[in-house]
Amino acid sequence: MNQFTKKFLASAMFGTLLAFSAHAATLNIHNGGDPQSLDPQKLSGDWENRIAGDIFEGLVTEDAKDNPVPGQAESWTISPDGKVYTFKLRDGIKWSDGQPVTAGDFVFAFQRLVDPKNAAEYAYLQFTIKNAEKINKGEITDLNQLGVKAIDDKTLEITLENATPYFINALMHYTAYPLPKHVVEAKGQDWVKIGNIVTNGPYKPTEWVPGSHVTTVKNDQWYGAKDLKIDGAKFFVLEDQEAALKRYRAGEFDIMTDFPTDQYEWMKKNLPGQAHVAPFLASYYYVLNAQKPPFNDKRVRQALSMAVNREVIGPQILGTQEPPAYSWVPPGTANYGEPAYVSWKDLPYKDKVEEAKKLLKEAGFGPDHPLKAQLRYNTNDNHKRVAVAIASMWKPLGVQVELYNAETKVHYDEMQRGQVEIGRAGWIADYNDPDNFLNLLTTGVAMNYGRWSNPDYDKLIKEGNAETDIGKRAEIFKKAEQLALDDSAAIPLYYYVSKNVVSPKVEGFVDNIQDIHRTRWLSMKE
Amino acid sequence: MIKYALRRLLSTIPVLWIAVTACFFVLRLAPGGPFDGERPLPPVILKNLAVHYNLDKPLIQQYLIYVGDLLRGDLGPSFASEDFSVAQQIMIGLPYTFTIGTAAFLIAIIVGVAVGCLGALYQNKTPDYILGALILVGVVLPNFLIAPILQLIFGIHLAWFPVGGWGDGSIKYLILPIVVLALPHAGRISRITRGSMIEVMNQNFIRTAKAKGIGPRLTVMRHALKPALMPVVSYLGPAASYLLTGSLVVESIFGLPGIGRYFVNAALNRDYGMVLGTVIFYMVLIVFLNLLVDIAYAWLDPKVRNR
């Protein structure tokens, strides 16, 4: 072999090595907060969901557009009354240690979720399953009474309390992920520690430095591992968004999952096409204490709602184009179609203010007897900006607003105890269904901060949830929504938007309404 | 000396107990609980959580359980991070905080003393003015302002250092946070050194040394430095504890996994166990550092040693 051939072969080998190393793509994701746990039954935040959904997989999972697609189950059937779901598990599904994933692992996970001893914060999301709530309340102590049964290793049967059309969507939630029974039983609480943890998703965690990052790598045991384009991800903890943007600009992050809103214009100009602002299944609203005068007067509530110029909040006050909200359920919600809107939605703003003045006058308020109200919000620049703007929008009505801000814990504690006249709140959907929003206004639920109560509304919601026909159910729900809007049960202000910054080298990132982007659907350009 | 150190250590036990007790009850009295948040939990879930964390018991019983666990060396669970106990989290974060804090501490001393000495030697001359102005920048500008500026210049535009993160812990990741952390202390140490050195340089024994024909550098190194450092040493105790405990902003901006950020996050999250754990940890640390300073003081000043 002459010198030329040797050199040629050496460079070819080096080139091949380089090519291989370029394919070893790791995705660096700015993920915000520190995860509370890697145990899917101990989570509560979207930043934790990003990790959990990469390392675990439920019976049903989401595609790149967040539509439900078969996950660990290859198919399922639903009984005619809509109460019994029978899932057939895929062949050859395994945990990352090579052990098979069985229907028993799902039974074990659901039982553990609702067992009050484990105090899972999100257990209530699966209360649609037969006896789940009773077990969680301690009314039933036999976990085998839960409506989740393994017919055999490959067949799982779930029985619900009532027909629940959104149940398949709820199964995409991390509370429905299976757990490796053999590891949890062997290791106890420590099953979730790196070194012990066994997962069934496309990736498995290999490192967790609290306050810094969680690292995952491809799980070769996952049924679709050979098609994964990303070899692993690093989920970085960094709550300072300004600092995160700097790290993104320096190329240290490939994806940012939130960004400082005041940088949006700069990003549009300097990072063209990289800032993704998209509709998001979440609402920003004000509640009015419907138990307390004068907010128990529908005219007062409606006047305050009408006098808000929603069109300027997204574009001018927040700067990220949040769409104005005239409905309670955000548009684009599954199983629903177009939501109901307030009847005065299309009036010119001037006319809305005039009507609002009239309503307040009828309620006994005017320049001689101004309406005085305290507006509470939790400490945050955006909440403050919105509150200041709305207080000034109410000024022409003669409303005198006292702004009061408190840290999040205190704010929500006071809201729940009803110590509020007007208060800021927001809701991000847990599952894609109108029930998740409409439920917030039903009597007695913890999230009904304004304590607005209407038996007709409650009846309609109950009726809707018992209806198996999706079309009819949507009609019933729409009636309920209209009723709440006509009564100004609360003041919807805007629909949230998701805010991501995605490097041009990341491919396959599809904006979707729940802002869920699993690594398995992404790839990276060299 | 050992007796003195032991006595000092023992005397801190009642202080520690009072602090833990006060902190325990003040925390519980603060409005908002660990499970309040944007997503209110149904009463049944709250009840299960309360039972799980003993929050359903009378306050005094909760306190006795906590103190009992503490005496067994158990700092308890963290509500916000279920996979790690409070003690585990502190042990995980400590090496990061310690590395950054120690490096910043040493740099602050070396740079601060050197700049202070130069300032004193060139008192009211150009080098003194230039160094004084530079140091003033470090002292006056808060680190939440300096950090982004350095990130922008050295991280993004010049791309000399990573903008944040721990990476593999190599020096290139650590330089910016260490500089930001060290800068204000270097400034303060230099101001103290300069003032003290000027005072010492005007004393009789220095005049004698000069009269003997010893050069200015040797005069400073051999005769003036040791007495001039006394006030600097007094400052080192608080400075060291600040560097090890007050790096919250730096750790937050650079995304470092140290323990500086635990306390504030835990207080905001009403993570009772974590707040108490960090309070105890910091108190022990501060006591230990102050003890070290006292020993250093005794070494520098024979009058203190013989007292």
**Residue A10 — pLDDT band, cuts 50, 70, 90?**
very low
Instruction: Provide the terminal-to-terminal Cα distance of chain B, rounded to the nearest Å.
Output: 11
Tell me whether residues A414 and B31 touch, CB distance under 8 A.
Answer: yes
Query: Nearest Cβ partner of B82 from A37, A123, A247?
Result: A37
Q: What is the 3-state secondary structure (H, E, C) of chain B?
A: CHHHHHHHHHHHHHHHHHHHHHHHHHHHHCCCCCCCCCCCCCHHHHHHHHHHCCCCCCHHHHHHHHHHHHHCCCCCECCCCCCCEHHHHHHHHHHHHHHHHHHHHHHHHHHHHHHHHHHHHCCCCHHHHHHHHHHHHHHHCCHHHHHHHHHHHHHHHCCCCCCCCCCCCCHHHHHHHHHHHHHHHHHHHHHHHHHHHHHHHCCHHHHHHHHCCCCHHHHHHHHHHHHHCHHHHHHHHHHHHHHHHCCHHHHHHCCCCCCCCHHHHHHHCCCHHHHHHHHHHHHHHHHHHHHHHHHHHHHHCHHHHHC
Contact A513, A279 (CB under 8 A): yes
Tell me whether residues A252 and B164 touch, CB distance under 8 A.
Answer: yes
Lowest mean pLDDT of A194-198, A328-332, B91-95, name the range: B91-95
**Residue A497 — pLDDT band, cuts 50, 70, 90?**
very high
pLDDT tens-digit profile of B157-179?
Answer: 999 999 988 888 889 999 999 99
Give exposure, B250-287, as e/b (b: 16+ Cβ within 10 Å). bbbbbbbbbbbbbbebbbebbbbbbbbbbbbbbbeebb
Q: Which of residues 176-215 of B touch A (CB under 8 A)?
A: none
- The angle at the Cα of A432, spanning A430 to A436, to the nearest 5 degrees, equals 60
- In this predicted model, which residue has the larger pLDDT, A432 or B221? A432
Lowest mean pLDDT of A168-177, A218-227, B180-189, name the range: B180-189
Provide the shortest C-alpha distance from residue A106 to chain B (in Å).
21
- Spell out the long-range contacts of B40-46 with Cβ–Cβ below 8 A and sequence spacing 24 or more: B40/A412, B40/A416, B40/A446, B40/A447, B41/A121, B41/A124, B41/A446, B42/A124, B42/A445, B42/A446, B43/A446, B44/A116, B44/A124, B44/A133, B44/A136, B44/A137, B45/A119, B45/A120, B45/A121, B45/A123, B45/A124, B45/A136
Q: What is the pLDDT of residue A154?
A: 97
- Both structure tokens of A267: 């990003």
Q: Tally Cβ neighbours within 10 Å of residue A191.
A: 19
Sign of the torsion angle spanned by Cα atoms A54, A60, A63, A69: positive
In this predicted structure, the answer to whether residue A465 has a pLDDT above a threshold of 90 is: no
CA distance B50 to A501: 39
Rounded to the nearest integer, the mean pLDDT of chain A is: 92
A vs B, Cβ pairs < 8 A, gives 158
Give exposure, B134-161, as e/b (b: 16+ Cβ within 10 Å). ebeebeebebbebbbebbeebbeeeeeb
Lowest mean pLDDT of A268-272, B29-33, B54-58, name the range: B29-33
pLDDT tens-digit profile of A66-84?
Answer: 999 999 999 999 999 899 9
Tell me whether residues A408 and B37 touch, CB distance under 8 A.
Answer: yes
CA distance A269 to A266: 5
In this predicted structure, the answer to whether residue A8 has a pLDDT above a threshold of 90 is: no
Backbone dihedral region for residue A276 (phi beyond 0: left; psi -120 to 50: alpha; all else: beta): beta
Q: Which residue of A has its CA nearest to B158?
A: A250
Helix (H, G, I), strand (E, B) or coil at A279: strand
Residues of chain B with C-beta less than 8 angstroms from the C-beta of A117: 48, 52
Q: What is the pLDDT of residue B307?
A: 53
| Residue A317, C-beta contacts closer than 8 angstroms, at least 6 positions apart | A385, A386, A389
**Residue B243 — pLDDT band, cuts 50, 70, 90?**
confident
Q: What is the pLDDT of residue A447?
A: 86
Q: What is the pLDDT of residue B246?
A: 58
Provide the shortest C-alpha distance from residue A245 to chain B (in Å).
10
In this predicted structure, the answer to whether residue B230 has a pLDDT above a threshold of 90 is: no
Q: What is the pLDDT of residue A87?
A: 98
Question: Taking every pair of C-alpha atoms in chain B, what is the biggest distance, in angstroms?
Answer: 86
Backbone dihedral region for residue A77 (phi beyond 0: left; psi -120 to 50: alpha; all else: beta): beta
In this predicted structure, the answer to whether residue B251 has a pLDDT above a threshold of 80 is: yes
In this predicted structure, the answer to whether residue A11 has a pLDDT above a threshold of 50 is: no
Radius of gyration of chain B (CA): 24
Lowest mean pLDDT of A244-253, B211-220, B298-307, name the range: B298-307
Tell me whether residues B45 and A124 touch, CB distance under 8 A.
Answer: yes
In this predicted structure, the answer to whether residue A321 has a pLDDT above a threshold of 70 is: yes
The DSSP output letter for A313 is I
Amino acid at A38: L
CA distance A135 to A127: 10
pLDDT tens-digit profile of A107-145?
Answer: 999 999 999 998 888 899 999 999 999 999 999 999 999
Tell me the sheet residues that pair with B15: none
Rounded to the nearest integer, the mean pLDDT of chain B is: 85
Q: What is the pLDDT of residue A4?
A: 40
pLDDT tens-digit profile of B38-74?
Answer: 777 888 888 888 888 888 999 999 999 999 999 998 9
Q: pTM of this prediction?
A: 0.86
Nearest partner of B108 among B25, B43, B192, judged by Cα? B192
**Residue A450 — pLDDT band, cuts 50, 70, 90?**
very high
Q: Which range is most confident: A353-357, A426-430, A464-468, B1-5? A: A353-357
Give mean pLDDT, residues A16-29.
Answer: 62
Tell me whether residues B164 and A243 touch, CB distance under 8 A.
Answer: yes
Lowest mean pLDDT of A210-214, B2-6, B78-82, B278-282, name the range: B2-6
Residues of chain B with C-beta less than 8 angstroms from the C-beta of A247: 155, 162-165, 255
Residues of chain B with C-beta less than 8 angstroms from the C-beta of A283: none
CA distance A313 to A16: 54
Lowest mean pLDDT of A178-192, A200-214, B247-261, name the range: B247-261
Contact A120, A41 (CB under 8 A): yes
Lowest mean pLDDT of A258-272, B51-65, B206-220, name the range: B206-220
Helix (H, G, I), strand (E, B) or coil at A366: coil
Amino acid at B256: L
Backbone dihedral region for residue A310 (phi beyond 0: left; psi -120 to 50: alpha; all else: beta): alpha
In this predicted structure, the answer to whether residue A19 has a pLDDT above a threshold of 60 is: no
In this predicted structure, the answer to whether residue B266 has a pLDDT above a threshold of 90 is: no
Helix (H, G, I), strand (E, B) or coil at A207: strand
Nearest partner of A118 among B48, B182, B106, B37, judged by Cα? B48
| Residue B182, C-beta contacts closer than 8 angstroms, at least 6 positions apart | B103, B104, B105, B107, B108, B111
Tell me whether residues A34 and B164 touch, CB distance under 8 A.
Answer: no
In this predicted structure, the answer to whether residue A286 has a pLDDT above a threshold of 80 is: yes
The torsion defined by the Cα of B177, B182, B183 and B185, in degrees rounded to 10, comes to 150
In this predicted structure, the answer to whether residue B249 has a pLDDT above a threshold of 90 is: no
The DSSP output letter for A174 is G
Q: What is the pLDDT of residue B296?
A: 75
**Residue B306 — pLDDT band, cuts 50, 70, 90?**
low
Query: Nearest Cβ partner of A409 from B47, B83, B270?
Result: B270
- In this predicted model, which residue has the larger pLDDT, A108 or B212? A108
